[in-house]
Chains A and B, each alone.
Chain A
Amino acid sequence: DGGITQSPKYLFRKEGQNVTLSCEQNLNHDAMYWYRQDPGQGLRLIYYSQIVNDFQKGDIAEGYSVSREKKESFPLTVTSAQKNPTAFYLCASSVRDYNQPQHFGDGTRLSIL
């Protein structure tokens, strides 16, 4: 079955440590997105990519980095510069057509040790 796989489901970060969240899709979608979800804040866009080897900052990109070396993969690194990383992170993908909906993974819960 086609879908989006995020791993791990739960992740813990120590002070000063970078951690990487994985997102893989087999839907053949060109566009991929990373969102952060905090209670009462809805979904906020961190980074997005419309095509391989290209990506753009979203609304809250500071302290995060991404890469898009393959169409299927869009990993997110939470760097030590992100001072409040505890949140639920959602990855999504879509075709490059704003009329079409985004498809989401199951999310990763990141906590600070």
Chain B
Amino acid sequence: AQTVTQSQPEMSVQEAETVTLSCTYDTSENNYYLFWYKQPPSRQMILVIRQEAYKQQNATENRFSVNFQKAAKSFSLKISDSQLGDTAMYFCALPAGSEKLVFGKGTKLTVNP
């Protein structure tokens, strides 16, 4: 069964600095996607970035990038130039078969002014 582990329940960072959130997973699939979602205090879940497992190049979306290490089954999210609006819960997610996603328990990130 697919599992997703986020080992950092809470993190904090100073505004304008860089922070990395970790995610490890387990799957028997060879081709799959990985996702990072953000849930700000408003509670709406927003897709931040996704990575295709068969692509070696790490995905990047503006200040957000991933460090994907397939052999190690690691999928960390790096946020550069952190902004106050980045304060949120961040969830890593992995497809479980072709029908649903499995989510990690989340990391609560606080960006301090």
Contacts and interface: CB of A to CB of B under 8 A. Distances in A.
B50 A58 contact: no
A42 B50 CA distance: 19
Nearest to A103: B47
A60 interface: no
A88 B103 CA distance: 15
Given A88-B43, A101-B47, A58 B103 contact: no
B9 A40 contact: yes
Interface residues of A, number: 24
Interface stretch (B12-20, B59-67, B69-77, B90-98): B90-98
Give the secondary structure class of A's interface: strand
Given A42-B106, A98-B98, A104 B50 contact: no
B42 to A, nearest CB: 8
Interface residues of B, number: 23
B99 A50 contact: yes
A42 B23 CA distance: 13
A90 interface: yes
B68 interface: no
Interface string A90-112: 10100010110111111100000
A41 B103 CA distance: 10
A74 interface: no
Interface of A: 31, 33, 40-43, 45, 48, 50, 56, 58, 88, 90, 92, 96, 98-99, 101-107
Interface of B: 9, 32-33, 35, 42-47, 50, 52, 91, 95, 97-101, 103-106
